[in-house]
Chain A
Amino acid sequence: MNLQSYDVTDLVCNESFQQYCLGASAEVMAYWEDLARHNPTLQTNMVEAKALVLILSARQGNGYEQLQQLRDGIIEHEQLQSRLFATGETGMPVPSKPSTKKLLLYTTSIAASICLLIAAWQYFRHTPLQQNITPAIASQVYASGITPRKTVILPDGSVIILRDHSTLTLHEGFNAQHREVSLAGEAFFDVQHDAGKPFVVQTAATRVTVLGTTFNIRAYPKELSTETMLLKGKVSVTLNGGEGKHEILDQPYQSMIVGNSTSTKPLEETVKRSNSDTKKQELTWLRSRLEIENEPLEKIALKLEKWYGIPVKFEDESVKSYRYSGTFESETVVKALQALQLSYPFTFNIKNNEIVISK
């Protein structure tokens, strides 16, 4: 039977598909995601089939994602240790995503020193440590010019990719008192979670408020409309001059389009669309499919630098010759590097909006 004509029941019963749902390996995930990209009908069926497989497997979770979480947790832990034992570090370590929603208290018998580390880690997590390193910045401007993509990594660890002819302005006191930015043009946002300081993006027509999530905003001043598209999480879009009226986007690929010259129009007249497949096409400016066939990290770094528009430097010569193979698609340079780390470890830091790779 042809895979493309698989209906939901066929998929649920298919062993390879079951493995995909449980994240058994990177290969099986890439295989199905690729199939889905090229077959809209299959993709719709896959969504329903996956939901059923997850129910029947009692939400055992995704093995691949869980492993990523563990890796993030270890990186976070090691960064904390190096912070505690090596003071006076100048670079800003890349804050990885908090590995779990809630940190369980260690109740088992653990050496007191570890408890102390965890306590300190918890403390640092909620105290923006970067403030010491990056003092409250006066408003700062990043412009992409004719570069197709320019990656900016903010002091709070959020990653932003600017499309060509776009400008991002950090408001004075960013990360110290608030997290407010202005955007003219198009940008993709992968925002670090910080419940204490919502991340706010101001455009000519809208104001988008988030806690920690992934989304894209297209707000070129010369165009007729401003579009906000959600990828993950939840955002709230407020119309400028709309008397505080707002709309929530909480479904992947849901988007909201607002007319630029009609900011006085009530919100009801704006368009809210969901889940259409064409939406995904609109992000092709961003996603690169990186195919690596036994290449040294030095060469891969060049590719990353070119695609994401951020300088990638090496601090350690030996790392340059590490070799990798694989195919992956990542939204940000940080995610791409993390994927590489998974198969052979190295460290990377952000210093003055440059990525520095070391052993």
Chain B
Amino acid sequence: MLHDDDIRVYWNSARTGDKQALFALHSNTYFHLVRFGLKICGDDELVKDCINQLFLMLWDKRQSLPDVQQVRSYLFTCLRRQLLDELAYRSKMDAAHEQFSEEIPRKELSYEEIIINVQQDEELKQKLHLALEQLSPRQKELIRLKFFEGMSYEQIAEQTTQTIKTAYNTVYDAIKQLRKILK
């Protein structure tokens, strides 16, 4: 992961019209933005669309972009606003979607809610739900850190104070179990 200072360098170069810097900014922030967006709405297509639109808009307005200190948080804020606007727009279109109304403060979706939400297939949704229930809380946490947060085994080991080997083995056993049920 890049340091915030490096991201700021890309940001400032993009502001002056360097397209490659914009692409570098995208490469270095994309997965953070997707995860952030998924926690808000759990709709992967919508999140990806909004991120694409966000970067197109940044490029469009590059000359009037501010010199921000915290580029990542700035992008998060933009994305959140875009997602909420889009959700509000949709719920206006479909009054039944009460949960999207702005007054109710929505809480972050959990990892399990997100991965089940983004699947279209009802049968798979059911199976996933069952499969995740079989895992221990420890296994679930490590699966989340590995596959959703995209951490390396080394980072996981550090955060959960265990050896890299143990972290790997926990993930390995969990995957084995998941596969049995998902088959």
Contact = CB atoms under 8 A, between A and B. Distances in A.
A107 B115 contact: no
A321 interface: no
Given A58-B148, A107-B86, A66 B48 contact: yes
User: What bracket does the count of chain B residues touching chain A fall in?
Assistant: 35 or more
A114 B119 CA distance: 34
B81 to A, nearest CB: 6
A71 B45 CA distance: 18
A327 to B, nearest CB: 20
A74 B182 contact: no
Interface stretch (A95-103, A127-135, A182-190): A95-103
B143 A56 contact: yes
A61 interface: yes
Interface stretch (A11-19, A137-145, A147-155, A169-177): A11-19
A58 B114 contact: yes
A59 to B, nearest CB: 4
Nearest to B152: A15
Interface string A1-29: 00000001100110100100010000000
Q: Which of B30, B152, B153: most chain A CB closer than 10 A? A: B30
A12 B173 CA distance: 11
A177 B55 CA distance: 36
A230 B30 CA distance: 31
A339 interface: no
Contacts of B147: 18, 53, 56-57
B181 to A, nearest CB: 12
A34 to B, nearest CB: 22
A63 B31 contact: yes
Contacts of A69: 52
Interface string A49-87: 000110111111101001101110110010000000000
Interface in A95-120: 99-102, 104-108, 110-111, 114
Closest 6 CB pairs of A and B: A56-B147, A107-B85, A59-B44, A60-B34, A58-B115, A59-B118
